[in-house]
């Protein structure tokens, strides 16, 4: 049976906990957090989802994020990654990382979350981006 909840933030012995994930996502600009969809940690920028902590098999943390089309096709077959449940099956380019067992994978997760935040923020209206102080370079 697949467990799609992530109410337990005690993941001793695993590289990234939901608390650490939440701290990192909260450090990105103009973000908001909500717990929904069976206890998943959902992060949004400008009201649009860019990351979901949850929807994993067993009791191990898993983190889903939006990707570019090229990254989706590259990552989906890499060890420790899979198309994100629910989202990828609907044609969306979302990947789930379920292995954060070493420092390089933790750094990769942070890079993917930061890029997902950027991709989603670029999809906001120019007015909303300016209002939130995003992408003003």
Residue 84: both structure tokens together: 């994100």
pTM for this entry = 0.84
pLDDT digits (tens, 9 = 90+) for 1-29: 222 233 444 434 446 888 999 999 999 99
And the tokens for 109? 């997760």
105-114 confidence digits (pLDDT tens)? 888 999 999 9
In this predicted structure, what is the pLDDT of residue 37?
81
Domains in the chain (CATH in brackets) are: 18-125 (3.90.1150.30)
CB atoms within 10 A of CB 121: 21
Residue 106 CB contacts under 8 Å (≥ 6 apart), including other chains: 15, 16, 100
Rg (CA), the chain: 14
């Amino acid at each position: 049976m697949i467990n799609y909840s992530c109410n337990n933030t005690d993941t001793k012995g695993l590289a990234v906990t939901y608390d650490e994930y939440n701290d990192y996502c909260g450090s990105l600009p103009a973000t908001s957090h909500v717990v929904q969809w069976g206890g998943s940690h959902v992060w949004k920028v400008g009201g649009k989802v860019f990351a979901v902590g949850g929807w994993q098999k067993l009791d191990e943390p898993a983190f889903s994020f939006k990707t570019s089309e090229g990254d989706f096709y590259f990552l989906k077959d890499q060890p420790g990654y899979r198309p994100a449940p629910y989202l990828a099956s609907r044609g969306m380019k979302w990947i789930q990382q379920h292995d954060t067992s070493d420092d390089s994978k933790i750094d990769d997760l942070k890079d993917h979350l930061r890029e997902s935040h950027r991709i989603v923020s670029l999809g906001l209206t120019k007015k909303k981006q300016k209002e939130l102080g995003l992408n003003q370079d």
